[in-house]
Structure 1
Amino acid sequence: MQSLPETDISKLSNEIPKLVGEQIVIFRKLRSLTQTELAVMVGKDRQYLYKIEKGRVTPNIVTLSIIASALKITLSELFENIKV
């Protein structure tokens, strides 16, 4: 089995957090929630949520599940429109 080239791994590592963050913003706005409101709902501070939305940090799958739950969506829905 051949591993992915380092350039592909690097590209995915940079792009996916940004794309996930963009999806969180879309769903948050659809629910008419502020960053602060969503942050409180998921037990995180607003600055951390801001960094997630901007793709500056990569949240773990548990955090993404909690955010999806707070947004009343599934993880599948969160990732549905992410094309890499």
Structure 2
Amino acid sequence: MEMIPENTIELLKQKTPVQVGNRLKSLRKSKGISQTFIAHKTGKDRQYIYKIETGKVNPTISTIALITLALNVSLEDIFKSL
């Protein structure tokens, strides 16, 4: 069985957090919800929410799940567009 090429792995590591962050930001804005609201609902710092939305950090799946709960969307809504 062939391994996934290293350059593909690196590209995914760089690209995926940005795509997830963009999707979360888009959903949040479409609902008229602030980063502060999301931070309060999830118990996370607003700056951390900002860093997630801009792809500067790679959040855990449980953090993404918390944010989707605060946005009242499913995990599928986040990942189906990737």
TM-score tier by shorter-chain length is over 0.9
1:7 aligns with 2:7: yes
In the TM superposition, structure 1's runs of 4+ consecutive aligned residues that sit over 6 Å from their partners are none
Whole-Å separation in 1 of the counterparts to 2:47 and 2:3 = 36
SS of match in other structure, 1:81: coil
Aligned position for 1:58: 58
Q: Which runs of 5+ in 2 are unaligned?
A: none
Identity %: 40
How many residues were matched structurally? Answer: 82
Whole-Å separation in 2 of the counterparts to 1:24 and 1:10 = 22
Aligned position for 1:23: 23
Q: Which runs of 5+ in 1 are unaligned?
A: none
What is the TM-score normalised by the length of structure 2? 0.95
What is the TM-score normalised by the length of structure 1? 0.93
